[in-house]
Amino acid sequence: MSQSVLASAAGVAVQAGRRRTFAVISHPDAGKSTMTEALALHARVIGQAGAVHGKGDRRGVVSDWMAMEQQRGISVTSAALQFSYRDTVINLLDTPGHADFSEDTYRVLTAVDSAVMLLDAAKGLEPQTLKLFEVCRQRRIPVITFINKWDRPGHDALALMDEIEQRIGLKPTPLTWPVGIAGQFHGVIDRRTGVFTRMQRSPGGADLAIEEEMSAADAAERYGADWDTASEELDLLEMTGADHDQAAFLAATSTPVLFGAAVANLGVRQLLNILVELAPAPTAQPTVAGTDQPVDGTFSGFVFKIQANMNRAHRDQVAFMRICSGRFERGMVVTHAGTGKPFATKYAQQMFGQARDTIDEAYPGDVVGLVNATALGIGDTLYVGAPVQYPPLPSFPPEHFAVVRTSDTSAFKRFRRGIEQLDGEGVVQVLRSEQRGDQAPVLAAVGPMQFEVATHRLEAEFGVRVQLDHLPYEVAARTDAAGREILKKESNVEVMTRVRDDALLAVFPHRWRMRTIAGRHPDLRLDA
Q: Which residues pair with 304 in a beta bridge?
A: none
Q: Residues marked as binding?
A: 94-98
Residue pair 500/429 in contact by the 8 Å Cβ criterion:
yes
For residue 10, give the DSSP letter: H
Number of H helices, E strands in the chain: 13, 30
d(CA 114, CA 499): 34
Residue pair 371/318 in contact by the 8 Å Cβ criterion:
yes
Residue 164 identity (one-letter amino acid) = I
Q: What is the DSSP string of 280-305?
A: PPP--EE-TTS-EE-TTSS-EEEEEE
Q: What is the DSSP string of 159-178?
A: HHHHHHHHHH-PEEEESEEE
Give the residue ranges of DSSP H helices in 43-144.
67-72, 102-109, 127-138
Q: Residues marked as binding for GTP?
A: 94-98
d(CA 33, CA 49): 10
Task: Report how far apart, in Å, the C-alpha atoms of 484 and of each of 397, 398, 443, 480, 502 are.
Answer: 18, 19, 20, 6, 13
Close Cβ partners of 422 (under 8 Å, ≥ 6 residues apart): 428, 430, 454, 457, 458
Pairing, β 328-329 against β 361-362? antiparallel
CA atoms within 13 A on the CB side of 25: 33
